[in-house]
Amino acid sequence: MMIKGILFDKDGTLIDFSLWTDAAVNTIKKLMKEYFIEDDNIFDELKKSIGIKENVAEPFGALANRSHEDVATELHFVLSKYRNIELDPFKKHVTGIIRDEVLRDEVDYKPLTDIVALHEHLSSKGIKIGLATADSYQSAMHMIDRLMLHDAFDFVGSNDGVMKLKPHKDVCERFCSMYGLKPEEVAIVGDSYYDMMFAKNSGAIGVGVLSGVSCKINLKDVSDVIIPSVNSLFDDEVLCSLDEESYETRELWTA
């Protein structure tokens, strides 16, 4: 029996994650300029605090897994050692900078698959498609608008101030409620540990992809199955292996 719904993470799963690394580095540079800090060691310390090493996002860092507010909190922890900075106004300021960075017209969204074709393929199988991102609703819709994906998602779950963020099960519950699905009929596809914990907390099937911030060793203990990328979902054999009873088949794909 094939699954009936899929919730996709956005960055690192459907969209190349590098745009967030660039946005975070630019944000740090702006903050250092604002606070009149010129020190390469502090620059490196700030990057490390949110999980950027050699300009690559680390799989368990705040940038890869947490909200913009959490990223701001980590940056504040470092900067407050060098400047007297009040946390709450700082968080609001930093989230605004990050938001503006990813909403710039020149930001290059790089799809990791043909998202429209994937939606058409999955929809032809009767599978509902949702987006589940820790990104803001405004930023998620900006990506959808820029890539003309208005018909590619049946549901958008985001950091809209209403839904609880991953790894809480709220987004999956809302998706299931909207389409009359059971959690075990839903696959949650993502590139991070938090995505897989979101699947576990939801009672859904966790499908890890290796197209984003994580490698296989980061996901193997928390995923039900690991695939190279979402392109594997064009393969009906892979799709059929995602139902809750196909444990042995999933093991073959994960091996």
Q: Are 208 and 214 in contact (CB under 8 A)?
A: yes
First vs last Cα of the chain: how many Å apart? 22
Distance CA 104, CA 170 (A): 30
pLDDT tens digits along 52-91: 998 889 988 999 888 889 999 999 999 999 999 999 999 9
pTM over 0.85: yes
Give me the phi and psi of 156, to 5 degrees please. Answer: -130, 115
Rounded to a whole number of angstroms, the CA Rg of the chain reads 19
CB 186 within 8 A of CB 6: yes
Give all strands of the β-sheet with 128-136 in edge-to-edge order: 155-159, 128-136, 5-8, 186-190, 205-209, 225-227
- Phi, psi angle pair for 132, to nearest 5°: -130, 105
Q: Ranked by mean pLDDT, which of 101-110, 116-125, 233-242 comes out on top? A: 116-125
Model pLDDT for residues 38-55, shown as the tens digit of each residue: 999 999 999 999 999 988
Average pLDDT, the chain: 91
Question: For 199-246, what is each residue's pLDDT tens digit?
Answer: 999 999 999 999 999 999 999 889 999 999 999 999 988 888 887 565
pLDDT at 253 (0 to 100): 53
